[in-house]
A and B are shown apart, each in its own frame.
Chain A
């Protein structure tokens, strides 16, 4: 399958991040089109396109927009979730840095469609470069009359606020993000009510991922048919895949949904010399791992679900034979323990407990009993935690056990570092002194 650069098409143009650069490639033409049409028709068009959320869950975008009650007399809000913090995920930040106007144009069109007069872009605080790029794009758009009062004579007013997060993974959970945006401690909210009914400041709110929104101008500009020629029936369109790990050329590959990992691996130059693939993760540490047996599966929402995993953020992480699965799982759980917000018992106490046990395995002190304990502990979190982040914390261990239980068995007597030389797994050539 061929790569289909759309959002990434002009990334080699160093001026793309500027208004002029973006416009020179047809930028903001979709906006003009959108402002001349009926907001409901835009929602319908996005619905027809079949675009699914690119943040991980894959919820149909147009459907989400249509949940916002219209003519309810309340202000509506669009919130862009740009808090990309998932271990292994790196696609929203490059989009914001290279093509911020695609996001801004998408924000304006989406706001127009859902009748929001204020949009917020909540960007992970640790990436000031991306925050600066987006803030600059917003500033330029405002100066050009693309944001503000009566945009291009359409009578539509929009204010866009770029907000910087403060370093909490949980704030990527959409309701925690809303709390954080409102100035509270970021912890997920009880649903219902769902954000479409009572989101930001208790008003109807749409929360979309950066990549989802960046898709919008292209869909509006080129149409449903064009969009649907890529991908599958259930996963239409293209995706910004960010391949990382033990490959020759880690990076961003924009391709139709349905491309296989084998093809993506080829684009990424294959495994590093002398290496063979051990396991890979389709989209962030929160989704279960797969092995070389799964390389020919299409990367679509439905095929990944069938394989017992998820497409997630669509940012495959590739690991070769030098990596200890025990160690990898331990690092991920340490991350989840550190990032657990503390609100619900299973995630707060479970990640604390599991991490402690995993660290024993890492040092070769685990026991057979504890392998069983870990399995039940993960079962006690999955489906019982308050938000999806607890579920995420419960995925790495069971998935690892599915394919690599022998490594945990070995870790009852031999430490991970003895099983696998850690230096051998370093990505950078010449790291071995």
Chain B
């Protein structure tokens, strides 16, 4: 007891703020301690996640024994310190008022036409800490307005108070230090060198942290007043990072999205895709159920469509394939999982609408399913070594990227295994373990002994979903983990994949990672589902096998949800299979290649119209409620519930109930089958490296041209040796089995015999144009084809 008290004493200091005695941890800043007792000190440059700079001087306070007022945002409290804020010190009050008066001298005071008006720290603090009238009657500093710092972010320089939050965010957090303060004195202004755009996936954050209306977004500027908005906490649907967002809407339309505070996940940041890509929610939606009649889709009433679909699916009992795209909420995915097993009597289900492998399915069952929060964002900061395999966090899990950067600043060492030393790797100061696309397994097997010895239980291996496209790499990772004690985390790209895995939307796996092949596991789930254990189907197909089976007409019916065949390497096969299937039910919110061929189409809710949860890569469930509670659209689960009753079965369509059921099922604690070793099989010749850029041609990004304009350009990345060998061309043509792609060349650090192309960006749609994928052999030539 005494010991504990002693340690506590060592780590805290006793201070007095405005006469209130308090104990705070050593190193606490005055401004943070004051917040804890409800004293708000004005501030502009201060941001809890940025390094203190104390340049705005708005937070000056008095410290007993110190003659000059000190900045509360940079002043560390020490034992016995007696602090007086504006509430008890005339010196502090006058100092704050003086700074506020200076800040307003050159500020245009155009609140009436400023987007920030109504939620502006400058406006609010001018009211609380400023004078009622300005004594400044000189000429205010003006600038031409606005200027674009990039396509999405606009800057009105005359409103800027030079707090440098934006430039510090760019440098400290995002690592995109191109946003800087330029010029000096009253001419000091935010800008970029040579008017180059502020190239960052995180640029929207500077709009959010700007304490005045200087930085605004093209998508929200002049759209609305903050006090007219309804704000709802939501979870981002774009990737598996699991960011908390705030969705603001007005008159039934989303006007903007902000990063919301989740210290354990996204802290206070979001990527530009999460922030700006929401136009798809409102446009091009399927509005009513559709059924196919005489080869044409026509609108139908819900009862008619329901009856039609139920009959079709009932006729295909036991012979239905279910494809759930990776964007379903955990609850919806669970509804599909249960619907497939209980109502359709089929284990032929998969959520992975992308390149997959059986090795991956085994890996997921062995290492991921039913294991939640074993590795967290917090662990990223304290890990000793981190190895990235088939994972490009800046593009594929941007918030993980930010946390990795934070870790790197604390001394975490990042190694990246892959064919390209990307911009993201550079920003992580990563150590590059060169691996030609497709040879990852081989490289992992022959890792430097120094690195292998450095890996221990404080190390994390992050495996991206793309590892599935490099044969043997997942089994090599498993082996490396087993050998060194390094922990393994799987980072899918889509928001719903981790939850769908947990929900059992994968052949062979019941919810919570319960293996369908295990008698105990089956019995457990069957009991919860109130069915006979033996009635649960097993031996279902998944991944490529499932698509091939659909194409070969193995199934009578297909049920799809959120599937774009273009995301699959064998998308054409799938389209042909859908075309040939007897009966196809599609649950979608936008038309696709599938709905065009479906027998019946049900419109379903988008994220703003339903509640649910997404599970992020950590296995953290991030629930959200509907932004539009009055929405009449049904969630996927709601439609499946109606279908089930039309087919004479029982399935809840209530999100909360489904969530409870899923939680009650628990996680499988029994033995797991290990990943069967898969021999590396790297192809000879030049192989293709590719991944999806964060901002690309993804369908959820449609309708937001400003965001699209911030995308990285489509280029072919090659190394200088290949560049010279091709005679230094400006354009490069890459040819695969299906065709060619010609794009400008970008010379950077690429492994020999490798080249990189964006997977799904303008003019670079790998599957559709080349007809091959990651690690496969392509031919390359200089110039246009």
Interface residues of A (CB under 8 A from B): 168, 170, 185, 190, 337-346, 348-353, 356-357, 373, 376, 379-380, 383-386
Contacts and interface: CB of A to CB of B under 8 A. Distances in A.
A380 B186 contact: no
Contacts of A350: 102
Given A349-B102, A373-B135, A385-B57, 4 more contacts: A343-B55, A384-B60, A384-B95, A384-B99
Contacts of A353: 102, 105, 136, 138
Contacts of B136: 353
B623 interface: no
Contacts of A342: 162, 181, 183-188
B54 interface: yes
A182 to B, nearest CB: 14
Interface string B55-90: 111101000000111000010000000000000000
A383 B162 contact: no
Contacts of A383: 67-69
Contact of A386 (B55, B67, B141): B55
A348 B52 contact: no
Contacts of B138: 353, 356-357
A345 B184 contact: no
The B interface, classified by DSSP as helix, strand, loop or mixed, is loop
Contacts of A346: 57, 98-99, 102
A384 B103 CA distance: 13
Given A190-B52, A342-B183, A357-B138, A348 B188 contact: yes
B99 A340 contact: no
Nearest to A390: B57
Contacts of A339: 184-185
Top 9 closest A-B pairs, CB basis? A342-B188, A380-B98, A349-B102, A356-B138, A340-B185, A352-B186, A383-B68, A342-B184, A343-B55
B101 interface: yes
Interface in B164-192: 180-181, 183-188
B376 interface: no
A34 B95 CA distance: 49
A341 B101 CA distance: 19
B54 A386 contact: yes
A346 B187 CA distance: 14
Contact of B57 (A345, A356, A357): A345
Interface string B92-135: 00010011011101100000000000000000000000000001
10 contacts: A337-B185, A340-B185, A343-B55, A345-B99, A351-B186, A352-B106, A353-B136, A356-B138, A384-B95, A384-B99
Chain B: interface residue count, which band? 35 or more
Given A357-B138, A380-B102, A384-B57, A349 B184 contact: no
Given A348-B186, A348-B188, A356-B139, A185 B53 contact: no
A181 to B, nearest CB: 17
Contact of A348 (B68, B69, B101, B162): B162
A337 B58 CA distance: 20
A346 B52 CA distance: 18
Contact of A340 (B54, B161, B181, B184): B184
Interface in B184-241: 184-188
A352 B185 contact: yes
A170 B184 contact: yes
Contacts of B67: 383
* Residue of A339, A356, A379, A384 with most chain B CB atoms under a 10 A cut-off: A384
Contacts of B55: 343-345, 386
Contacts of B187: 342
B186 A349 contact: yes
Given A190-B53, A190-B54, A345 B186 contact: no
A340 B102 contact: no
A385 B95 CA distance: 10
A351 B68 CA distance: 20
Nearest to A382: B68
A373 B98 CA distance: 11
A386 to B, nearest CB: 6
Nearest to A338: B185
Contacts of B105: 349, 352-353
Nearest to B69: A384
Interface string B150-161: 000000000001
Contacts of A190: 52-54, 74
A383 B95 CA distance: 9
A353 B141 CA distance: 10
A380 B99 contact: yes
A188 to B, nearest CB: 9
A385 B161 CA distance: 15
A362 to B, nearest CB: 14
A376 B101 CA distance: 11
A340 B141 CA distance: 15
A351 B105 CA distance: 11
B58 A345 contact: yes
A379 to B, nearest CB: 7
Contacts of A379: 98
* Residue of B60, B102, B105, B161 with most chain A CB atoms under a 10 A cut-off: B102
Given A345-B162, A352-B105, A353-B138, A168 B99 contact: no
A320 B170 CA distance: 53
A129 to B, nearest CB: 26
A352 B69 contact: no
A337 B57 contact: no
Contacts of B180: 185
Nearest to B103: A345
A340 B183 CA distance: 10
Contacts of B95: 380, 384
A349 B58 CA distance: 13
B367 to A, nearest CB: 41
B141 A352 contact: yes
Nearest to A352: B186
B649 to A, nearest CB: 67
A342 B141 CA distance: 13
Contacts of A356: 138-139
Contacts of A349: 102-103, 105-106, 186
A345 B161 contact: yes
A343 B180 CA distance: 12
Nearest to A370: B135
Nearest to B189: A342
Contacts of B98: 346, 376, 379-380, 384
Nearest to A386: B55
B224 to A, nearest CB: 30
B162 A340 contact: no
A59 B383 CA distance: 45
A346 B101 CA distance: 9
A340 B55 CA distance: 13
Given A380-B99, A383-B68, A351 B139 contact: no
A356 B52 CA distance: 32
Given A185-B181, A342-B181, A356-B138, A337 B186 contact: yes
A360 B659 CA distance: 72
Given A373-B135, A383-B69, A384-B95, A344 B56 contact: yes
* Residue of A339, A345, A353, A357 with most chain B CB atoms under a 10 A cut-off: A345
A341 B57 contact: no
B774 to A, nearest CB: 40
Nearest to A383: B68
A190 B57 CA distance: 12
Nearest to B52: A190
Nearest to B183: A342
Nearest to B102: A349
A207 B162 CA distance: 29
Contacts of B69: 383-384
Contacts of A386: 54-55, 57
* Residue of B98, B161, B183 with most chain A CB atoms under a 10 A cut-off: B98
Nearest to A337: B185
Contacts of B181: 185, 342
* Residue of B55, B162, B180 with most chain A CB atoms under a 10 A cut-off: B55
